[in-house]
């Protein structure tokens, strides 16, 4: 999300990218918190940590992909695949978080 926020002022279409990131984040939190065990203190911490780790990993990949060497690189349609990394990682993190909350590990 930080890469998308950084891109908003200088990249055409980054506002749409930012909206997509925010909507998928909202969906992640709504789905995770719809389970009762995720609403405990430990569950909330697990959900937040899952989101933050996903954010960190995805931002590192996006920075390397879109801003190599500090200058924006327009990869065209190939870059759309890199944008799909965020929802895929959120689904993976959500599954792991819900498994951790269910098993209590």
Residues spanned by the domain of 94: 2-103
Q: What mean pLDDT is predicted for residues 81-86?
A: 88
Residue 105 in this model has a pLDDT that exceeds 80? no
Phi, psi angles (nearest 5°) of residue 12: -70, 130
Q: What mean pLDDT is predicted for residues 90-94?
A: 94
How many structural domains compose the chain?
A: 1
CB atoms within 10 A of CB 61: 15
pLDDT attached to residue 9: 80
Q: What is the pLDDT of residues 41-81, one digit of tens each?
A: 889 999 999 999 999 999 899 888 888 888 888 888 888 88
- For residue 51, what are its two tokens? 């989101």
Residues in contact with 42: Cβ distance below 8 Å, sequence separation at least 6, in sequence order: 101
pTM higher than the cut 0.75? yes
């Amino acid at each position: 999300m930080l890469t998308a926020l950084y891109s908003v002022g200088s990249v055409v279409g980054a506002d749409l990218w930012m909206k997509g990131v925010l909507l998928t984040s909202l969906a992640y939190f709504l789905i995770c918190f719809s389970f009762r065990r995720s609403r405990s203190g430990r569950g909330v911490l697990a959900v937040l940590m899952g989101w933050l780790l996903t954010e960190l990993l995805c931002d590192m990949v996006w920075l390397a992909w879109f801003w190599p060497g500090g200058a924006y690189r327009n990869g065209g349609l190939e870059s759309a695949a890199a944008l799909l990394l965020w929802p895929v990682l959120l689904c993976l993190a959500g599954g792991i978080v819900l498994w951790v909350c269910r098993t209590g590990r």
